[in-house]
Structure 1
Amino acid sequence: MNSHLRKLTISLVFLALAGTSILAQNSATIRGKVKGKDGVAIPYASVILENTPLGKATNENGSFKLAGVKPGEYILKISSVGFITIRQNIKVDAGDLLTLSFEFEESVYEVPQLTIIASRDQLFTKIPGSADYLSQAELKLLSPISGNEAFRRVSGVHVVEEEGLGLRANIGIRGLDPDRSRNVLVLEDGIPVALNPYGEPDAYYTPSIDRMAGVEVLKGSGQILYGPRTIGGVVNYITANPSEDETVSLKLRGGQNGYFSGLLGYGNTFGNTGVQFNLLRKQADGLGVSTFDINDFTGKINFRMSDRSQLGLKFGLYRETSNSTYVGITQVMYDQGGNDFTNVAPDDRLNVNRNSISLTHNYRINDRLNLQTMAYAYSTTRNWRRQDFSYSPTASNLSGVVWGDTSIPGGAIYMRNGTGNRNRQFEVAGFEQRINLEYNLGSINNELTAGYRYIYEKGYEQRVNGSFPTSDSGDLITDEDRTGNAISAFVQNKFKLSSKFSIDAGLRAEFYDFERHVFRNKFGGEVRDTSIVNGSSVSEIIPGLGFNYQLNRDINLFGGIHRGFAPPRVKDAITSAGVVQQLDAELSWNYELGLRTSLTKGLYAEVTGFYLDFSNQIIPVSESAGGTGSGLINGGETTHEGIEVGLSFDLSEIRDVQYNVLLDVTATFQNATFAADRFQNIGTESVNLSGNQTPYAPQTLLSSALTIASPFGLTARVTNTFVGEQFTDPLNTVVPSANGRIGKLDSYFLTDLQLIYDFPKVENLSINLSIKNLSNERYISSRRPQGIRVGLTRFTSLGIDWTL
């Protein structure tokens, strides 16, 4: 770890010195502040000097500074989600220091949708707890090929690569298991994307980062307004809204091994109607172990029905075919080298089809009362053909294809002449209404949010066993459906006790009724038709309390406590034999206390301490988590404690420089352990897991980014990521098994380089060169679902962005 940190320090110091050594000559500086009509600062607004490469986002206080501006006349463009774009003509001379102030007006063309931070809920004043926002400008600088690269920039978030491209995100927050992002509520424009949000919260479909305008991550007590899962946090992907003028955008990127990503967008506003359409095509042929084809079409239409009423329609069609597989290589194959991206099951195929539609309505009853309504429905088909295999040379029905070293027990993979086709279809329909009311209670100003939501979900599952490696049909082994109905009601009130101090008190009630109906299964080795039906329900009251205290203009204190809640998956709570397992809901008390501050001009910092106390954490033992596929178990008491740190240093805020230099660092130091006696049988021995670390919870996570933007159009960025060592099983096994499925994961260090050139004389045209894993570090990213997954090696891509 010391060598990794030394590399990080040297690279940052070297590049920082390079950037700070160039002082402004014969140039001007533009600085300013952006706020709303209510006087509240607008962070993360995009500030661009048109027809130049100069631009940045406003900081947490709504301020910005553009240095190194050549003398001349320009148009300054300022934009943000939910507001009318500002364009102002300016003229600067050499040596000028121009100070400006801007006031946003809310856009009437915005599609009404639920956002956590990016719209009018500003980070410092309204969010009761820690939160992060990745803006469109940040995503451009990252040039991500997957969402994993974006989430690594957020403190407290750990992502595990499964196939290197992030087709299925595995996100863990504050030491929680990242498997299939089950402990995270994932939304797109405020609407759930999980297969079934309550009964099957698995991220087999993940929104493509390529088409996003931003990403929100909420970890504090404010998440109790959302649901059903309020344990780790909320991730909300934000898509672009219709543009005010006709806009055609094209983003193309190509790289090694047939990698291609192309996004074509069209937006316009016709009278009271705004439209935005995006078509994404993404593919690769042998990138790592991955081959895939993705077509993703989305559309947004906004109808301005009156000055107070807006209706939004959104729809999406997603089609994916990939060679995704569960089986990875063995430890023996990894140690021998040269086998990192061996595809041991080349005939495995995963097809994911998703259709979605939503209607959102925003009605401003008066200046202090607003009603939001959302209705949505989506269906997801996830059919997966996976070839059977064994680690035993005496297994039945062997195909003769063998991978690995047969001389070592467990060191070889024996492929079999058969498939298990896991065919699943999911349906979801939801309806939500919430009011936002500003009112006075005596001398105290208040903001009330209250509402309810209803979600209906249904899942159909079949397993069909084929007789050869490419069989899509065969013997029907299992056939069932699972149905759930959920109702929740929520209320949260912000008490503005003074201009500097506010308290948020909230409460959510959850009720989930579910049923499992088994039509066919294997009983005592015999497959037969049946009709087994059983059901159960879960209910919980979920409180939350948070505060914000603006000590002075530069220091903000925040903190909170909330109840963590997540219902068990239906097929784990009720067995295939119809037995109710009495599997408890996942419950915790989550605490945090933090500080946001401007230490000095240009230097911003945030420090958050957190403590998660689980009375019962659910420990996955499903196939996706590397287990036997038998579901989940009550894991008992666990605790997660740690500190998250974020630092941002903007050199242009301190002195006039010809090059804009920005350095930011995030760090997470955490410890997630089993907190009470819990025993696991190993042969004839019973081992107490108390004090052991929970799986896939690295104690150290570090990320840094140094960005240097030149006045002639070139921007360079170096991003570093450090992930500490982690255990992969509750026993904290250090020595890896021969088959690679358990054993400690060593720490690893990644460096990415992005070069972006904005053509000074061509508006909105840029090219970018991206090199991921610059040092070509070899590392194991995961030992599950069924064997070693090796992280992506050095990857180079070239892209072009053009907006007309």
Structure 2
Amino acid sequence: MRFLSGISFSALVAVIATPAVASEAEAGQNPALDLITVTASRQGTLDIGGSVQRLEIEDLETFAYGDVNRILRQIPGVFLQEEDGFGLRPNIGIRGSGTDRSARVTIMEDGILKAPAPYSAPAIYYFPRMARIYGIEVAKGPAAIKYGPATVGGAINFFATPIPDVDAGEVAASFTALAGNYGGQRLHGWVGGWSGLASGIEMGAFAEGVYEHSNGFKTIDIGGDTGFEIVDTTLRFGLRTTDRRHSLEFKFQRNNERSDETYLGITLADFAVDPNRRYNASQRDVMNVAHETFQLTHSSKIGSDVTLTTIAYRTDTARSWYKLNDVRNAANTGWSSLADVLANPTANPLQFADLVGAEGFTGRPGALRVRNNNRVYQSTGIQSVISGNFDTGPLRHALEVSARYHEDSEDRFQQDDRYQIVNGRMVLTTPGAPGSQDNRIGDAKAWAFFVRDTIDFGAITLVPGLRYETIDLRQTRFALGDSVRAIPTAVAERNVDVFIPGVSAVWRLGDDLRLIAGAHRGFASPTPGSDVSIETSWNYEAGLKFGRGPVRMEVIGFFNDYSNLVGSCTASTGGNCDIGEQFEGGKVDVKGVEVLAGTTFGNSADGGISVPVALVYTFTDARFQSNFVSGYEPWGAVSIDDRLPYQPKHQLTLNAGIETGRARFNATMNWVSRARATAGQGAIAANDRIDARTVVDVSAEFDLLENLSLFGSVQNVFDETYNAGFSPSGARPGAPRLWLVGLRSRI
């Protein structure tokens, strides 16, 4: 907090009192990362042969969301399974890829893989905080094969605030202080700039801090914390030539999180009475995460047509989620899953009584098993991309070639502690020895190569590309409780080699209209220890793009033909399987339409009024194409034409705003149709239904001074109550009405 306060104070002083700073500072995307993106600007998405959308800082500042789920509602084709109401651990899918822990989507920050172990354990238990994100690129279709390892749905690249692109001797800064209900707090400040170091050389520095806190909107029967606290800091140091042809930058980022979150939901009957209730058996649940990133980025322009960018990186993540795992069965011979007990409490009265743990009640000794999900991750790699422009006769080429070497690992050293409820309080009865529940290491080593040629010929652009990945996976198990780990009890190894081709085409029908089409192969890597067939698909898309001045419209149809959909057992899917086990879902068809349209009426820059409006819509039909019975809980007994779980048929977002010279008001409405928690077709039973919902958010900002504004936002204005899901266990509410108000300033 002292570090954050220092940054915030420095930024505030710079904004309000320092006349020597830049008056119109730009802190756009780091130019060194231009090669890492599909396109470096929103305007550039018009000529991309694929579905690529960008959100710029202006889009992100409109509502100042801290929850990435609310931000990504602005992108068609993205599916979001809410869990905690704050977006701490998002479940993101793209075009039917599956949402659990965002494991089927390639997540990056500043061009590097951001999952703690993207090959050996792709479930994302750390996620960048949106307060320090400056832009977002979502790549679908053939554009997604530029990244990897997952290409089945797409990729999301988050761009953190860079060293501001100001002239030498100038400084830029920003400060935000917000407070709201449920103890909500957010402090965010950054300051940075460049100075002359030597002839032709400039040195840059940047510091940023984020503090976020909430008491939580859920209530444990006996009382206790249900909120979170996050401290996130970033430091950048850079060198660049004055002609901006060469640059070198070092980035260090650290995130510490404590969140009193649980996998234990509640029954539908209790949800109807109080959706924000938590049973007493969840009172000990807490997640602690520490994450660090080290990144070195070099960019050099060689001659007039060749650019080389190289990034070396390392991330370290330690997380321990101490949470209720299951409850002793009635016969005292084994364990009942939380999901099964909550789905039918009448048939499981003893187990349900232990979960509720009412005051005056004494539970069975050791009936509650709490697992210390202690895991340490490491991810290291280096990647380079070189691009060059040249002509062959009438054809113009923009060739990209890249290579990446990557290593990552997940170390599990977990234990189970047993508790009983006594008068509403959990009392430890049997502590577990460290490593006595799970003692294993999964690791991966991967080479990835990519080549893409953008070929222009008159009104047509053709973009063939090819990605190749060779991945060595290994899982090493040790005897339970063995902290020395001298001799493994089992070692499973596997190599995966895969070619991922793709091609897209753009036909410029006029200055403003484009016809696009493309096809590519989808791929998701198996995890260490898994022997299932790899997940692959062939994905196709075609549509129209239109852009003229402020008017923008896209209509794109897609069809993803899975030859084998793979489900991964995690505690977040409800358990009832061996964690890490993978299941084959066979052939699956996902088809749909994405629509994006928007414009701005008027012009506030001329002293008038601007009225921006936008529409985002996704239709999706995702169905299994075979009959089978699976031990994977979200699937179960599957029949042909069963719909995939957590895939709503319709998603619609409408945005509208009014902007004057000093004031801005914006509103957004998001409607999502009902969906299933498990595979099926026909009418959806109440205990399997993810509620349809219509949620409205508003924000307003008024400029008090040239560099200081009053800002406020309200999420879920009408306090809509809805069941967001049954995963991990039991009904879970979406966030209620949340509001924030405070000051924002920037130069």
Match of 1:213 among 120, 131, 134: 134
Q: How many angstroms apart in 2 are the aligned matches of 1:162 and 1:396?
A: 32
Higher helix fraction (1 or 2): 2
C-alpha contact 2:46 2:546 (8 A) present in aligned 1: no
Q: Residue 203 of structure 1: CA displacement? A: 1.2
Match of 2:716 among 759, 773, 782: 773
Within the alignment, does 1:293 sit opposite 2:239 as a pair?
Answer: no
Q: Which residue of 2 aligns with 1:570?
A: 528
How is 1:245-644 mapped onto 2 (pairs within 5 angstroms)? 245-271=170-196, 272-288=202-218, 290-304=226-240, 307=243, 308-337=245-274, 340=277, 344-390=281-327, 392=329, 395=332, 408-410=346-348, 412=352, 414-415=354-355, 416-468=367-419, 474=433, 476-498=436-458, 500-521=459-480, 531-571=489-529, 573=530, 581=531, 583-598=532-547, 603-630=551-578, 631-644=581-594
- Change in Cα spacing, 1:407 to 1:206, as seen in structure 2 (3 Å) is closer
Q: Residue 232 of structure 1: CA displacement? A: 0.9
- Change in Cα spacing, 1:719 to 1:725, as seen in structure 2 (3 Å) is same
Within the alignment, does 1:141 sit opposite 2:62 as a pair?
Answer: yes
**Matched AA of 2:441:** D
**Matched AA of 1:81:** G
Within the alignment, does 1:718 sit opposite 2:667 as a pair?
Answer: yes
Q: Residue 355 of structure 1: CA displacement? A: 1.2
- 1:570 aligned counterpart, secondary structure: coil
- 1:776 aligned counterpart, secondary structure: coil
Q: How many angstroms apart in 1 are the aligned matches of 2:275 and 2:550?
A: 47
- Change in Cα spacing, 1:467 to 1:616, as seen in structure 2 (3 Å) is same
**Matched AA of 1:591:** Y
Q: Residue 161 of structure 1: CA displacement? A: 1.4
Structure 1 unaligned spans of 5+? 1-50, 52-74, 83-108, 523-527, 574-580
C-alpha contact 1:680 1:689 (8 A) present in aligned 2: no
- 2:282 aligned counterpart, secondary structure: coil
C-alpha contact 1:246 1:267 (8 A) present in aligned 2: yes
Q: Residue 339 of structure 1: CA displacement? A: 5.1
- Change in Cα spacing, 1:530 to 1:79, as seen in structure 2 (3 Å) is closer
C-alpha contact 1:331 1:736 (8 A) present in aligned 2: no
Q: Residue 521 of structure 1: CA displacement? A: 4.3
**Matched AA of 2:723:** I
Q: Residue 653 of structure 1: CA displacement? A: 7.1
Residue-by-residue CA offset, 1:575-633 (whole Å, 9 max, x unaligned): xxxxxx3x1111001111121114x8754321000000000011234321123242220
Within the alignment, does 1:671 sit opposite 2:615 as a pair?
Answer: no
C-alpha contact 1:117 1:123 (8 A) present in aligned 2: no
Q: Residue 509 of structure 1: CA displacement? A: 0.8
- 2:721 aligned counterpart, secondary structure: coil
Q: How many angstroms apart in 2 are the aligned matches of 1:443 and 1:530?
A: 61
Q: How many angstroms apart in 2 are the aligned matches of 1:652 and 1:325?
A: 48
C-alpha contact 1:333 1:405 (8 A) present in aligned 2: no
Q: How many angstroms apart in 2 are the aligned matches of 1:704 and 1:544?
A: 33
C-alpha contact 1:175 1:696 (8 A) present in aligned 2: no
- Change in Cα spacing, 1:390 to 1:473, as seen in structure 2 (3 Å) is closer
Q: How many angstroms apart in 1 are the aligned matches of 2:700 and 2:414?
A: 48
C-alpha contact 1:111 1:302 (8 A) present in aligned 2: no
- 1:651 aligned counterpart, secondary structure: strand
Identity of aligned residues (%): 26
**Matched AA of 2:310:** T
Residue-by-residue CA offset, 1:173-203 (whole Å, 9 max, x unaligned): 1122211001110000111111211121111
C-alpha contact 2:697 2:716 (8 A) present in aligned 1: yes
Q: How many residues align?
A: 679
Q: How many angstroms apart in 2 are the aligned matches of 1:406 and 1:497?
A: 64
Within the alignment, does 1:184 sit opposite 2:105 as a pair?
Answer: yes
Q: Which residue of 2 aligns with 1:152?
A: 73
- Change in Cα spacing, 1:744 to 1:121, as seen in structure 2 (3 Å) is closer
C-alpha contact 1:732 1:744 (8 A) present in aligned 2: no
Residue-by-residue CA offset, 1:475-505 (whole Å, 9 max, x unaligned): 523211112110111100011112x321000
- Change in Cα spacing, 1:294 to 1:586, as seen in structure 2 (3 Å) is same
- 1:334 aligned counterpart, secondary structure: helix
- Change in Cα spacing, 1:221 to 1:641, as seen in structure 2 (3 Å) is same
C-alpha contact 1:163 1:288 (8 A) present in aligned 2: no
Match of 1:196 among 117, 142, 155: 117
Residue-by-residue CA offset, 1:737-758 (whole Å, 9 max, x unaligned): 8xxxx51222111011111112
**Matched AA of 1:419:** V
Q: Which residue of 1 aligns with 2:362?
A: none
Q: Residue 764 of structure 1: CA displacement? A: 2.2
C-alpha contact 1:776 1:794 (8 A) present in aligned 2: yes
Q: Which residue of 2 aligns with 1:756?
A: 701
Q: How many angstroms apart in 2 are the aligned matches of 1:667 and 1:341?
A: 34
Q: Residue 662 of structure 1: CA displacement? A: 1.1
Q: How many angstroms apart in 2 are the aligned matches of 1:160 and 1:406?
A: 23
Q: Residue 545 of structure 1: CA displacement? A: 0.1
- 1:268 aligned counterpart, secondary structure: strand
C-alpha contact 2:142 2:502 (8 A) present in aligned 1: yes
**Matched AA of 1:311:** L
Q: CA RMSD in A?
A: 3.1
Q: How high is the TM-score relative to the length of structure 2?
A: 0.85
Q: How many angstroms apart in 2 are the aligned matches of 1:536 and 1:141?
A: 47
- Change in Cα spacing, 1:311 to 1:343, as seen in structure 2 (3 Å) is farther
Q: How many angstroms apart in 1 are the aligned matches of 2:491 and 2:204?
A: 48
- Change in Cα spacing, 1:391 to 1:721, as seen in structure 2 (3 Å) is farther
Q: How many angstroms apart in 2 are the aligned matches of 1:720 and 1:443?
A: 48
- 1:129 aligned counterpart, secondary structure: coil
Q: How many angstroms apart in 1 are the aligned matches of 2:58 and 2:204?
A: 23
**Matched AA of 1:545:** V
**Matched AA of 1:617:** L
Q: How many angstroms apart in 1 are the aligned matches of 2:328 and 2:511?
A: 63
- Change in Cα spacing, 1:654 to 1:497, as seen in structure 2 (3 Å) is farther
C-alpha contact 1:184 1:233 (8 A) present in aligned 2: yes
Q: Which moved more, 1:693-702 or 1:324-333?
A: 324-333
Q: How many angstroms apart in 1 are the aligned matches of 2:57 and 2:279?
A: 36
C-alpha contact 2:589 2:622 (8 A) present in aligned 1: yes
Q: How high is the TM-score relative to the length of structure 1?
A: 0.79
Q: How many angstroms apart in 1 are the aligned matches of 2:497 and 2:612?
A: 48
Q: Residue 419 of structure 1: CA displacement? A: 2.0
- 1:286 aligned counterpart, secondary structure: coil
Structure 2 unaligned spans of 5+? 1-14, 16-21, 197-201, 220-225, 356-366, 420-425
Q: Residue 215 of structure 1: CA displacement? A: 1.0
- 2:62 aligned counterpart, secondary structure: helix
Residue-by-residue CA offset, 1:232-256 (whole Å, 9 max, x unaligned): 1111111122122212321111111
